[in-house]
A = this chain, B = another copy of it.
Amino acid sequence: MIDAAGLRVMKAIADEGSFTSAANALGFTQPAISQMVRRLEQRTGTVLVERYGRQVRLTEAGQVLARHAVGVLAALDAAEEEITAIAGLRAGRVRLQAFPSSSATLVPRTLAILKARHPDITVTFTEAEPPESLAALRRGDCDVAVAFAYEGGDLGELEEDLSLLVTRRLLDDEVRLVVPRTHPHAEDEAATLADFSGEEWIAGCPRCRGHLLALADTAGFRPNVAFETEDYVAQLGLVTAGLGVALVPDLILNAAKHDEVATLPLSPASRRQILAVTTPDLLRVPAVAAALDALCEAAGADPGVSPAHLVGGEA
């Protein structure tokens, strides 16, 4: 019944004292004001303006509208300002979830880039394994999820989780075999997994363990898993102590100290893909886009975007 335009007009009349001035103040012509008032009057069924001679003044009802106009228009302007602030990266929120081992280097570097570039954006970060982070993304509790998938392994399984989502490949993380310095194969150029079928193995998180099992299966043996820990630093410690061997991604090795062990590339090589995941709509939210850019930059990847179902396709 009453809209913002009507209030704006009433306020302008109250402020300016005449239809003509109000029209000028609002950038309209005088007849626009004239019939705007008339429409308002017949909508409310009330006399809003008293025309006396060639001057106009608001009736009590008109003053009521003009008075309320102040608050309403202020609130409207405030809303608009907030929106443009979000659009202009002068405000906004990004909720990031990433898997634990990315927290060490990728995420901190991303947050630093983001903070430097857009200091007014609020970034929240939660550590979560891919299944949970993607669930949060689908649920709407998260804006960007950083996930990983082992090539050939759970890429297919992940793919179904990625339907309706978009991803950016951040980096290809090569998996290396970590053995004690004193190990007979410690000086090899590369490691063939079958050579280690008799070792005791140290496994990580459920999905990493799954990857280990898959690789071993391909190599024709079942690994003897003696220890399990999700903490890669602990894994390196166990290897250092000579208690077994482990598969550890490069990303971890670049960040953690590992002088006491030998790290061998696998032959054939095995990699995991690290992906940033979000929804198509969120991609168009400036703060989210900025976060993705920062993630790419931190990972040193090109900032190309690919729909979820193309993840394993090319490359």
A282-B80 Cα distance, complex, nearest whole Å:
38
With known contacts A72-B72, A93-B60, A164–B53 Cβ distance under 8 A:
yes
Q: Is A315 an interface residue (CB 8 A)?
A: no
**Residues in B neighbouring A184, C-beta threshold 8 A:** none
Question: By the criterion CB–CB under 8 Å, are B79 and A65 in contact?
Answer: yes
- By beta carbon, the residue of chain B nearest A48 is B83
A138-B54 Cα distance, complex, nearest whole Å:
12
Across the interface, A47 reaches (CB within 8 A) one of B52, B79, B285, namely B285
Q: Is A49 an interface residue (CB 8 A)?
A: yes
Question: By the criterion CB–CB under 8 Å, are A50 and B140 in contact?
Answer: yes
Question: By the criterion CB–CB under 8 Å, are A79 and B75 in contact?
Answer: no
Considering residues A3, A50, A78, A79, which has the most beta carbons from chain B within 10 angstroms of its beta carbon?
Answer: A79
Number of A residues near B (Cβ < 8 Å) is 45
Using an 8 Å CB-CB cutoff, how does the interface string of A1-28 with B read, 1 for contact, 0 for none?
1111101000000000000000000000
Question: By the criterion CB–CB under 8 Å, are A79 and B68 in contact?
Answer: yes
Across the interface, A60 reaches (CB within 8 A) one of B7, B60, B92, namely B92
Across the interface, A86 reaches (CB within 8 A) one of B60, B75, B79, B281, namely B60
Across the interface, A72 reaches (CB within 8 A) one of B53, B76, B84, namely B76
Question: By the criterion CB–CB under 8 Å, are A64 and B52 in contact?
Answer: no
Question: By the criterion CB–CB under 8 Å, are B75 and A68 in contact?
Answer: yes
A273-B5 Cα distance, complex, nearest whole Å:
46
Q: Is A44 an interface residue (CB 8 A)?
A: yes
Least CB distance, A17 to chain B, in whole angstroms = 11
